[in-house]
Structure 1
């Protein structure tokens, strides 16, 4: 199954009508006493966003934008993989594989496509089981297996050498590519990478201590998102694949919590239409369960928690104001060739501050 087939997004009008009908007849939960963002997405905020989704958000306009660049589907290990393949204007352009996080999916990289395609051939896949890479057909899609599949994809496209950029979960896949096929990689560029703490806490700067405190708060008060998906993916699938209000709340809360620190509303960091693009893709493709299954696969991979080989490929770390990456542990994990700290942005840096990401990628790969 080495064939690569052109792909176009074309959501049936009946699916659009069904979504709007579900949104307009939603049964709203009463607001909990004292409920603010610390207890989840407030009811009044979510009602307003749902009304915007039903009455103002233009999926057909978004669909046309998503179809603007060539996209394809292929099958690797029995799993359909959807990807954009955008060739640069010059024939000798270097190649860059762009790897997404969750929430966001490949939609979270949209702002990078036009500027980066002037300098690079771009390959932009959905992770297995995410979005148009369709629900998972098997279990066991661990980070190493995903990385191996994308290395195979690049081979199938005829690219012997390439660079990779990844944010969050995409950063983990990028570094794993650096372990599996270092000879094929020109360099790696990552953001929102979470380096597991080591034993050396002496001499942490005030900024690094604040990052450690953020991690501790997350483990105490924000890890339920991961625990639910990594332990009971089928249960969460029932809730999210039948309720657009449910998937809207599930996704938007993370855009709020993990984007620019200190914002009051998620759209202060990420435009409403961008958030709703991600939510709509997850809804129309019915991949909430598959996304949860991917968390389950990773959480139950014994190799995910053990020591890993250090990545020797030159790696650039772009560190936003909301990131928790600490350099000494990043250097333990990879060959740090560039370290850039920004005074704004969060985990979704490619959506929040795309010009920062584009400039950093260009400068890094231009220096290699």
Structure 2
């Protein structure tokens, strides 16, 4: 077992009863707007054309206030194992679950926005100690991004994707993992790309749900389906990404609402779960109310609505156009994700693609929407990465 640095300290999540009572009181006293002026009967995704429908929000707020059990989720976090360490003056929180398997490989999982480590709670155990003895096993590390969850909130600018990737290398080293695999989606996928491109001496290979091509590529040579992908992605960034522009330019302004109003925070995040999941009407077709509220309540209790939004201010459109990833890469594009990159474009950045996954179902949050399929894809992709590494090592 590798030696863990003395700088790493155990951590337990425990909200005060007063904080939970305050949350319920704010929910009970919420002042809501009138209903949207788009009236459609469920099921119909167009019900959400003006944002979260009032009836859906009222139901979820009532459930959050009267039935949702934060203590259950809090206990699950504590059972996995939580820790904190300070890197470049900032406290970083992370889950760490070591496998019992002697052949396990270190793996860092990085979430995005509006996600959190809550995205991984349901899959950590299966990744660390799989029920199938023939499946690969991993020592799982899942950090909270700076400004998210139980990580500290940066007090100065500078914590963008490059610095975060470097901090993850330092974190893994403190845990005794000099070489490791990396996975991520959304911002986590971009950070994972930076890890693979900047730190090949430490990163065995990567799996990302957010492959991004260098800018300026044309659609010449793409299939009709791939051209449709590019059109959908362009439409998303052109017409449905106001949230990103707001958080990239004025995160402090929206932050007041996200930190002061639990209903405002819920609506801001629920809107993304609704639009970005593989559903026909409501995100609850794929993701339970409890799982969404685990994520939202974590933001609320840690007061991180504003600090998490600032990752857009720090990093929007900041991926180095010249960055190339030479380590073995597994890339997966889910059918209902909001940003889809054709393989031909991805090959311009990722120089050794060993796995190209296009599942039949799933959207932007596959670990919550389709956890079984997600774990199978992640294992398949990382298994392909490890297979290539083994061949390379035998040839040396």
Output the TM-score relative to the length of structure 1: 0.95
**Which aligned pairs between 1:218-229 and structure 2 lie closer than 5 A?**
218-229=236-247
Equivalent residue number for residue 268 of structure 1: 285
Unaligned runs of 5+ in 2: 40-46, 130-136, 388-396
Counterpart among 22, 30, 33 of residue 18 in structure 1: 22
Q: Give the 3-state SS of the residue equivalent to 2:297 in structure 1.
A: helix
Once residues 43 and 293 of structure 1 are traced to their aligned partners in structure 2, the CA distance between those partners, rounded to angstroms, is: 28
Deviation track 1:276-323 (CA, whole Å, cap 9, x = no partner) reads: 000000000000111111110113x7xx25522210010001221113
Deviation track 1:105-163 (CA, whole Å, cap 9, x = no partner) reads: 11112222011011111111011111111322321111101000001101111111100
Once residues 215 and 126 of structure 1 are traced to their aligned partners in structure 2, the CA distance between those partners, rounded to angstroms, is: 27
Once residues 116 and 147 of structure 1 are traced to their aligned partners in structure 2, the CA distance between those partners, rounded to angstroms, is: 22
State the Cα distance separating 1:67 from its structure 2 match: 1.2
Give aligned pairs, total: 364
- 1:333 matches 2:349: yes
Change (3 A) 1:143 1:247: same
What is the root-mean-square deviation in Å for CA atoms of aligned residues? 1.6
Once residues 195 and 287 of structure 1 are traced to their aligned partners in structure 2, the CA distance between those partners, rounded to angstroms, is: 31
Equivalent residue number for residue 217 of structure 1: 235
**8 Å CA contact retained: 1:259, 1:348:** yes
Deviation track 1:57-103 (CA, whole Å, cap 9, x = no partner) reads: 11111111121111100111111100011110123421111111211
**8 Å CA contact retained: 1:2, 1:74:** no
Q: Which 10-residue stretch deviates more, 184-193 or 250-259?
A: 184-193
**Which aligned pairs between 1:1-368 and structure 2 lie closer than 5 A?**
3-34=7-38, 36-118=47-129, 119-195=137-213, 198-260=216-278, 262-299=279-316, 304=318, 306-323=320-337, 324-334=340-350, 335-367=352-384, 368=387
Q: Give the 3-state SS of the residue equivalent to 1:183 in structure 2.
A: coil
State the Cα distance separating 1:184 from its structure 2 match: 1.4
Q: Higher helix fraction: Structure 1 or Structure 2?
A: 1
Change (3 A) 1:198 1:327: farther
**8 Å CA contact retained: 1:101, 1:168:** yes
Unaligned runs of 5+ in 1: none
Change (3 A) 1:97 1:42: same
Once residues 247 and 196 of structure 1 are traced to their aligned partners in structure 2, the CA distance between those partners, rounded to angstroms, is: 34
Once residues 93 and 320 of structure 2 are traced to their aligned partners in structure 1, the CA distance between those partners, rounded to angstroms, is: 31
Q: Give the 3-state SS of the residue equivalent to 1:103 in structure 2.
A: coil
Once residues 369 and 38 of structure 2 are traced to their aligned partners in structure 1, the CA distance between those partners, rounded to angstroms, is: 30
**8 Å CA contact retained: 2:99, 2:128:** yes
Output the TM-score relative to the length of structure 2: 0.88
Once residues 90 and 6 of structure 2 are traced to their aligned partners in structure 1, the CA distance between those partners, rounded to angstroms, is: 12
State the Cα distance separating 1:186 from its structure 2 match: 1.5
Once residues 101 and 80 of structure 1 are traced to their aligned partners in structure 2, the CA distance between those partners, rounded to angstroms, is: 18
